[in-house]
Structure 1
Amino acid sequence: MHPTQPSTSQMNRREAIASIAAIYAALTLGRTAQAKPAAEKAPMTITCFIRYQIDPFQREGFKKYAENWRHIIPRCGGHLVGYFLPHEGTNDIAWGLIAFSNLAAYETYRTRLKADPQARENLAMAHDMRLILREERNFVEVVDGTFNLPSTFAGST
């Protein structure tokens, strides 16, 4: 690691949120062709960024945990943007991104999630396997006019 770059454990919240926001924006660019027309979906005003410190030796277990949410989260009212495992660099930090139209929608989602048998089962599995060492949640909102902009680069790729 370069001495002027903070390690993930030294990264402050602002740096962490900026990093994941950049990842989020980059990854959603590829989904625009699959997205529903704007009239069919509620506007996404807040996103819950979940930062996980995972056991790096339990990567496959965490992957299964994340995959299990793909049906549970939408059923309970969240817009699952995605889960992200470490690829290069730090091997024990993963992210989950879930969007909501507002904080009231998030609270409704949390209530439904607590009552969902598959959600409880998935959380119990993660607990029993000790997949997650630490979890942080931050809520962010999109700055109008800055999200999901296409590249204007004219060169070849």
Structure 2
Amino acid sequence: MITCVVEYVIDPQKTDAFEKFATRWMELVDAHGGTHHGYFLPAEGASDKALALFSFPSLAAYEEYRKLFGHHPDFIAADKIRDESGCVLRYERSFMRPLLPSTTTTST
């Protein structure tokens, strides 16, 4: 599994537009082979930072998803929300390998 972490700098005056953008991307990731873990929006402290985390079974599966960018009408429409509102000032993507809690317990 590979997890994509997207760090956003957002316009704090356009949080509603960012939430609309984020909601659409959560649906698209889930519909195209990934698992979206959610967006994390400002609560306290810096009000212009947001995060998104989503996973795909493999880097190859993520690359298949990425091929839809700029071509699939739903992806174009989701990006249009961001582009027309100006809610995202910049973003950076990185990939991580998750270490998740074990579902089995051991006794000592």
Give the TM-score band, short-chain normalised.
0.7 to 0.9
Larger strand fraction of residues: 2
Percent identity, aligned pairs only?
A: 36
The residue that corresponds to 2:17 in the other structure is 61
In structure 2, the residue matched to 1:140 is 96
Query: Deviation string for 1:91-132 (max 9, x for gaps)?
Result: 000011110111101100111344321211110121111111
More helix by share: 1
Q: Name the count of aligned residue pairs.
A: 103
Q: 1:124, 1:138 → 2: CA distance?
A: 23
Distance 2:51 2:96 in 1: 14
Q: Among 47, 58, 65, which residue is 1:91 paired with?
A: 47
Deviates more, 1:82-91 or 1:66-75: 66-75
- Unaligned segments of structure 2, at least 5 residues: 104-108
Q: Distance in 2 between matches of 1:80 and 1:129?
A: 23
Q: Say if 2:68 and 2:75, in contact at 8 Å, map to a contact too.
A: no
Amino acid at match of 1:133: L
Are the equivalent residues in 2 in contact too, given 1:51–1:93 (CA < 8 A)?
yes
Any gaps of 5 or more consecutive residues in structure 1? 1-44, 151-157
| Larger RCO (CA within 8 A; separation ≥ 6) | 2
TM-score for the superposition, normalised by structure 2: 0.86
Taking the aligned partners of 1:60 and 1:48, their CA distance within structure 2 comes to 23
